[in-house]
Amino acid sequence: MKTGFVGIVGRPNVGKSTLLNAILGEKIAITTDKPQTTRNAIRGIYTHYADDNINEDTQMVFIDTPGIHKPRTKLGKYMTDSAVNTFKEVEAVIFIVDDRLSAGPGDKYIVDMLNEVTTPKILVINKIDKMEPDVFEKIYNEYDQLEIFENIFGVSAKEGINVHDVIKCALGFMEEGPMFFPDDMVTEHPERFIVSEIIREKILMYFQEEVPHGVAVEIEQFKEESSITKISAVIYCEKKSHKGMIIGKGGRKLKGIGKSAREEIEALLGEKVFLELWVKVKENWRDSDIALSNFGYKE
């Protein structure tokens, strides 16, 4: 069996989590149109037994990393460090872009980092379903001239276009070895973590500006009973004004967040869920080592 680890890196909001979900064929990483949606490195386990499409048994662990950016808070530093450290522990790196290298400093910053490691690199130009052919060609040519990528693929992670080609390419860098995880496991993260991420995703989808980035979710109760799972979660925000916005007039906003989250959690768990949400203020938690540790953003 071929096994190994693959890192997925890129700027915020280029589609890393969407690609991971497309590779696995199910959702384990939250996705929104907000930058820095992913805060933790999320491991997705892809297990495949030989068939006509892929002629050997394989288990690859794809690591979806936070978007690499210049950090402004301790949380931002943790996220960027988490992504950069991935370069050192994988058999291959998938670098996702959705624009020309010359469009801004973000991708150049990552390319400079990739130049420092010998790990095989695969370039994925994402969102081709929204891209004119001449635009794709310009992006392709800019990156191809760097001569640091083993392969370059045009992909639509959202539509699933050419995702299989990326999987087969990554497999070429794996080595013979034992399975890391049971073949029915798609992520090593516990259900509590995924539930907290689903709640945070719904908050991100409800708000546009600064509120989402100042929000953390902590699961206080996760109790499985015979016919229902009871979950109690606290939404932490940084300002009193944000608390009022999250709750909304007459509690309507919080109820909407709860309803959307509960429906997705029920689909995840396959049973009824009673979800109770609370909102509390914890000022400047993104720059607090203690708070970051409590919320699972630091070792």
Do 222 and 250 meet the contact criterion of CB atoms below 8 Å apart?
A: no
pTM reported for the whole predicted model: 0.68
Do 111 and 101 meet the contact criterion of CB atoms below 8 Å apart?
A: yes
Measured from the Cβ of residue 178, the count of other Cβ atoms closer than 10 Å reads 7
Q: Which residue in the block uniquely carries the two structure tokens 């400047």? A: 284
Do 2 and 174 meet the contact criterion of CB atoms below 8 Å apart?
A: yes
Question: CB within 8 A of 209, min separation 6: which ones?
Answer: none
CATH of 2-176, one of 3.40.190.10, 1.10.10.60, 3.40.50.300, 3.40.50.10860: 3.40.50.300
CA distance 24 to 44: 7
CA torsion 252-241-293-31 (nearest 10°) is: 50
Token pair for residue 189? 């993260």
The one-digit pLDDT tens for each residue of the chain (299 residues) are 999 989 998 887 888 888 998 998 887 765 555 445 444 567 888 999 988 888 889 999 998 876 565 556 666 666 566 666 677 778 999 999 999 988 878 788 889 888 888 899 999 999 999 999 999 999 999 999 999 999 999 999 999 999 999 999 999 999 998 888 888 888 877 778 888 888 988 888 877 665 656 788 888 999 988 889 999 999 998 888 889 888 988 999 999 999 999 988 887 787 899 999 999 998 888 787 777 777 766 55
Q: Which residues are annotated binding-site positions for GTP?
A: 10-17, 64-68, 126-129
164 burial level (CB within 10 Å; 0-12, 13-18, 19+): middle
Q: What angle do CA 40, 63, 124 make, to 5 degrees?
A: 115
Look up residue 249 and give its DSSP letter: G
Write down the pLDDT at residue 288. 76
CA distance 174 to 56: 11
Write down the pLDDT at residue 78. 60
Q: What superfamily does domain 191-294 belong to in CATH? A: K homology (KH) domain (3.30.300.20)
Q: Which residues are annotated binding-site positions?
A: 10-17, 64-68, 126-129
Write down the pLDDT at residue 182. 82
List where CATH 3.40.50.300 sits in the chain.
Answer: 2-176
